[in-house]
Each structure stands twice: as structure tokens, then as C-alpha cells.
Amino acid sequence: MSAPGTTVPSVPAPVPPSSASLPPTLPTPSRALDPGVKTVRGTVSGGVESGCTILTAPGEQYLLLGADPAIAVAGAVVEVTGKADPGAMTTCQQGTPFHVSSTKRG
């Protein structure tokens, strides 16, 4: 409390920064704009080695890495989205390794 007749200095309220002083934001890239991401449709089969899942599409054969096992079953026609990774080390000796980000029935 202050004594009668004295003035208490006021503290100015904080001023929010103006939008001009904020750094610019960059748009978040979508998966569709990510170089190398593609969608492939084909038929699933078991690989020559145990535990390997192969997708055969016209003119292509991919080793599916991370595909939903409930959808990517032998004989199923599926559509997978992801990235091919020809340099990936695997124990499967068939198909181009393909890191799957989504799997759906085709």
C-alpha cells in the first residue's frame, strides 16, 4: 500500500510483437511434393526368402518394407505409397527395396 498523496508508478502492459517482427514461416511440404515418393499398384507375393513380401507391378518388382501385413498378403492387389531405396541392405534377394508409408487394397 502507498501512503496517501503518493503516486505509485504504473508498469506498462507487455505489448505483443507485431506480425512484421515475426520470422516468416515456411510452408510444410506435403508428401506428394517430396522427391522420390511414388504410388505403385500391383499384386503381392511371398519372396523366395522367408519373410519377404514382393509387389509385382507392370515392369517392376519391389520388396515391400513396412507394408501393412493385414493388407499386403499373397495374392492381394494393393496400392502402396513410399520411396524406392535401391541401396538398402536386406536379406531378401529379390525386388527393389521400397519403404512403404501407406498401404491400401487396390
Higher pLDDT among residues 28 and 17, named by residue: 17
pTM of the predicted model as reported, rounded to 2 decimal places: 0.68
Q: Which pLDDT score is estimated for 19?
A: 47
Q: Which pLDDT score is estimated for 106?
A: 80
Nearest CA to 62 out of 25, 8, 21, 100 is that of 100
Burial of 8 (0-12, 13-18, 19+ CB in 10 A): exposed
Nearest CA to 90 out of 41, 44, 51 is that of 51
- What are the pLDDT digits (tens) for 21-67? 545 544 444 445 578 899 999 999 999 999 999 999 999 999 999 99
- Tell me if 94 sits within 8 A of 65, measured CB to CB: no
Give the three cell numbers for residue 32: 506428394
| Mean pLDDT over the full length of the chain | 82
**What does DSSP assign to residue 20?**
G
Higher pLDDT among residues 22 and 86, named by residue: 86
Q: What is the C-alpha separation between 58 and 53, in angstroms, rounded?
A: 17
Q: For the chain, first and last CA: distance in Å?
A: 76
| Confidence check: pLDDT of 79 > 90 | yes
Q: Across residues 2-6, what is the average pLDDT? A: 60
